[in-house]
Amino acid sequence: MKQKYWSNHKWVTCRSKLPTFIKWSFSEIHKVLPANKKLSILDLGVGDGKLILSLPRTHQFIGLDSCKEQLDLADLQAKKQGTKIKLILSDFTSIPLADNTIDVVVSNASLHHGKHKAIIFSEVYRVLKTPGIFIFADFYNEFGRKYSTLINNNIKKNKLFAKAFTKSLCDTYNDIPMEVRKNHPEEYHVDPYKLLTLLSSAGFKNKILPGYDPAYSIICARKLEAQ
């Protein structure tokens, strides 16, 4: 299956540097990984591989994306840094991997493109080993549309964290050329609390990590032995 992502522009190449909120999500994802273990890690919506290729090279990497051009970028990036990565062209709703084979599934800024969250979550649950970890960061509002409300609300609450995030989100958005924004694929935003319910239905035990922001949050869910 082929899908163009932001046509002539690439999500990654249109950003001059990693914004604060992405750096934050990467560092939270790094923290959750069990230390001193060689893990099989799958990245859903791998893009150019920025997240997965930032993890220690001792792990075994798999990147899935529905866009061939993005996978080519990830391949190039992996070769540049001498890291092995298996790349899969597929949709989130159909992960062509065997049951119980993956230790950790990660994802950054991608799952809002998936319309059928319940199917995605059950696919992730299926491929994860027990115990297994699913950790993902994502936007929970339509990118760009609700910023004025967010800024006002966050500033009213006067939370330094929220202010920094909102600024970083706005800077990123302003960084992306109009032509790119127009060609952005469909987004299917779901409230994080609704996502927690869907994750529970798929079998996960879950929680939101500290640092919840109405615009961008991280959710960590675990596949555990039945009790």
Q: What does the binding site for ligand SAM look like in residue numbers (CB under 6 A)?
A: 5, 11-12, 45-47, 50-51, 65-67, 70, 91-92, 108-110, 113-114
Closest CA to 15 of 215, 180, 163: 180
Q: Which residue is nearest to ligand SAM (CB)?
A: 47
Name which of 11 and 204 has its Cβ closer to ligand SAM: 11
Min dist CB 124 to ligand SAM, Å, is 12
Nearer to ligand SAM, 51 or 62 (CB): 51
Nearest partner of 20 among 137, 195, 146, judged by Cα: 137
CB of 207 to ligand SAM, least distance (A): 22
Q: Which is nearer to ligand SAM, 86 or 160 (CB)?
A: 86
Q: For residues 66 and 168, which CB has a smaller minimum distance to ligand SAM in the complex?
A: 66
In single-letter form, the type of residue at position 82 comes to G
Cα 188 to Cα 14, 55, 70, 195: the distances in Å are 22, 28, 20, 12
What string of DSSP letters covers 136-172? EEEE-S-TTTTHHHHHHHHHHHT-HHHHHHHHHHHHH
- As measured in angstroms, the least distance from the Cβ of 150 to ligand SAM is 19
DSSP state of 7: T
